[in-house]
Structure 1
């Protein structure tokens, strides 16, 4: 279970963005940070901008821990091509990200939880590791006994998000296919993500 299950919207207020684009975000009512000095605004340094970009990416994918995020970044560096694009591609290959994108869960935190509880099958076999990396054409589906869960049905019927083009989903069967890793421009982030600043942060 996620360590941020009860306080995920604190991430929104701390970063000053509606990270998941949800109507429930407290930032819709108070567009400033928490605490006594939350309404003070000062121009961030280059380091501050890079740190914020990293925190936004980590937070968006269920508040990934620093050690795990650094491993993903190291893998992105090793791969050929643009490191920022590689980083996004690797993050979008995570099983919890795909379950969230396919609208089988309302949030990345909920996606991680239903995976940990064994409700998701990959290529017909149960997989309960949220950070598992999918390959092109892997098939992801909700286990038959779990298809009537209210959380999953409500998420699938929600009009809050659209399913991106790099996934194929049969919403009625709660089953989908991971077609390919996306580029940054393909990912429907509610806020601007800047993986190039994350690369700069780790390259310091």
Structure 2
């Protein structure tokens, strides 16, 4: 069970935004931060504060991955040619748990991590239990037989709450998905604005 599975809305309230676009987010009803002083108007964030906030928001969106994992992704993005901020998004979206979530096989990114960890997913016919597994273009991701019968899978695939983005091909009848291309920032259906350029500034200080 992920460390934020019971309190996944804390990030929403701290940021004052509905990070995942979920209808049950407390931000939909109350925009203040948690705590007795949450209603106080916050001061203007410094450049560092804005950069830190952008990093926390992006890192938290993907199931609150660890700082070491996120830093590794940044360092890998720096080594690639082109825009570092775009590469960060591309590498995050190629995580197996992210692809499972985007394909609407599960309702949340937290459920995706747990779903993969419990062995309900195979890639190119081989069982994979590592949520951070890097999916390549053309890889065939399939929900294993036991997972296909789970209520959360059936509910997620039929939900009208969100759509499958066009860089992923998903067949909910067979519970099979394929990554068609690595998305750019503008392709990813984030419910809120993500600023990977500020993440780059944070790490390159």
What is the TM-score of this pair, normalised by structure 1? 0.98
C-alpha distance in structure 1 between counterparts of 2:79 and 2:32, whole Å: 38
Unmatched 5+ residue regions in structure 1?
none
Corresponding residue SS for 1:169: strand
User: 1:158-204, CA deviations, whole angstroms, 9 ceiling, x for partnerless residues?
Assistant: 11111001001111111110111100000000000000000011111
Tell me the equivalent position of 1:175.
176
For residues 29-68 of structure 1, what are the structure 2 equivalents within 5 Å?
29-41=29-41, 42-68=43-69
Q: Which residue of 2 aligns with 1:196?
A: 197
Distance 1:193 1:58 in 2: 10
Shift of 1:145: 2.3
Greater shift in the superposed pair: 185-194 or 38-47: 38-47
| Superposition RMSD in Å | 0.7
Structure 1 residues 140-155: aligned runs within 5 Å = 140-155=141-156
Q: Pairwise mapping of residues 43-192 of structure 1 onto structure 2 (< 5 A)?
A: 43-192=44-193
Which ranges of structure 2 fall in alignment gaps of 5 or more residues? none
TM-score by length of 2: 0.98
Measure, in 1, the Cα distance between the counterparts of 2:186 and 2:112. 23
List 4+ stretches of structure 1 deviating above 4 A: none
| Pairs aligned (count) | 204
Deviations 1:108-163 (A, max 9, x none): 00000010000011111110000000111001111022211001110111111110
Summarize deviations over 1:27-51 as a string: whole Å, max 9, x none.
1110110112212222111111111
CA distance in 2 between partners of 1:158 and 1:85 (Å): 29
Aligned-partner SS, 2:23 = coil
Whole-Å Cα distance in 1 between the matches of residues 151 and 16 of structure 2? Answer: 31
